[in-house]
Amino acid sequence: MWFKNLVVYRLPMPWSASADDLEGQLARKRLQRCGSFEMESRGWLCPRDAEVYVHRLAQQWLLELGVEQKLLPASVIRQVAQERAEQVANRQPYPVGRKQMRQIKEEVTEELLPKALTRRRSTHIWIAPQSGLLVINAAAPKKAQEALEALRSAFDEVPATPLATQLSPTAAMTQWLAGGDAPSGFTIDQDLELQSPDEGKPTVRYVRHALEGREIREHIAAGKSATKLGLTWQDRISFVLTEQLQIKRLAFLDIEKAGASEQVEDAGEQFDIDFALMTGELLRMLSDLVHALGGEARLPG
């Protein structure tokens, strides 16, 4: 359950939404199995306890969006449709045209869908109503947007906006590298992506590479800016910060996972211990990161 990636949104602080109301709305839109002729189904799952869709612990909420998808690759549809089209062409005095081919593909899709295998994936959403944060465990903005749209579809009052800071992550990361030092509480790791503003955007990437050398400063002097940078907070959490203020490859380092699995017999208790540790550390880390980026930028309105 430990989050691996963070896309962070701001909510009004404190967010006055009722967890009970949210629970009722998510229960009405729980995940249903894909129908025979559906490519995808979305709905809500219970993160921990059966029939509890908003897991609450110490004023922190956890939600889980489930998505079922039929595994029916377009290449398979094309192959079967082409074979079908050849059979049709042999029975008629004229070649298969675009309109007829489109119809054949639609028929093939309808025939194959009920037989297709189904894959399920899920996305966790952490809401800290008292801190005004909504955080989605997603590596790609598209997946985060999918989860946010599903939440808004189930619960109308979700006034979430992307977290914004006074300093852009790109400007701050480039400044830290040029000066050879990270802000208080953070250290610079060994992963970096530098990008040029020139046409074509030439990019230089460093993986597990020392970043304090002259070579990095020369790239910056030539006009390249940091678009990704590996950082560690308080020797406890490492991550890669991106130009969009996303946090990727999140790893919890020296955080003692109290009540490790061999010491805690109840899986539910272990789940709550992990959730409490994770949210407590991330709240402090996010606060320090926003401060390092010049404080939060309040959007108009």
Query: Which residues are 128's β-sheet partners?
Result: 133
- For position 166, what pLDDT does the model report? 96
pLDDT the model gives residue 262:
55
In the chain, what is the straight-line distance between the N-terminal and C-terminal CA atoms, in Å?
35
Max intra-chain CA distance, the chain: 78
* CA separation for the pair 10, 62 (Å, rounded): 16
Q: What are the residue ranges spanned by the domains of the chain?
A: 7-70+116-162, 74-113, 169-292
* Residue pLDDT tens, the chain, 301 long: 799 999 999 998 888 889 999 999 999 999 998 877 788 899 999 999 889 999 999 999 999 999 999 888 899 999 999 999 999 999 988 989 999 999 999 999 888 888 888 899 999 999 999 999 999 999 999 999 999 999 999 998 799 999 999 999 999 999 998 888 899 999 999 899 999 887 777 888 888 777 776 788 888 888 899 999 999 999 999 999 999 999 999 999 877 554 455 567 788 888 999 999 999 999 999 999 999 999 999 765 5
Structure tokens at 63: 């939600």
pTM (predicted TM-score): 0.86
Residue 174: CB atoms within 10 Å: 19
What is the C-alpha separation between 228 and 234, in angstroms, rounded?
Answer: 19
Residues with Cβ within 8 Å of 257's Cβ and at least 6 positions away in sequence, in order, are: 273, 274, 277
CA distance 52 to 45: 8
**Fold classified for 7-70+116-162:** TATA-Binding Protein (3.30.310)
**Alpha helical stretches, state H, 16-73:** 19-28
Can you tell me whether residue 289 is helix, strand or coil? helix
| Cis preceding-peptide flag for 14 (omega within 30 of 0) | yes
Whether 75 contacts 293, CB under 8 Å: no
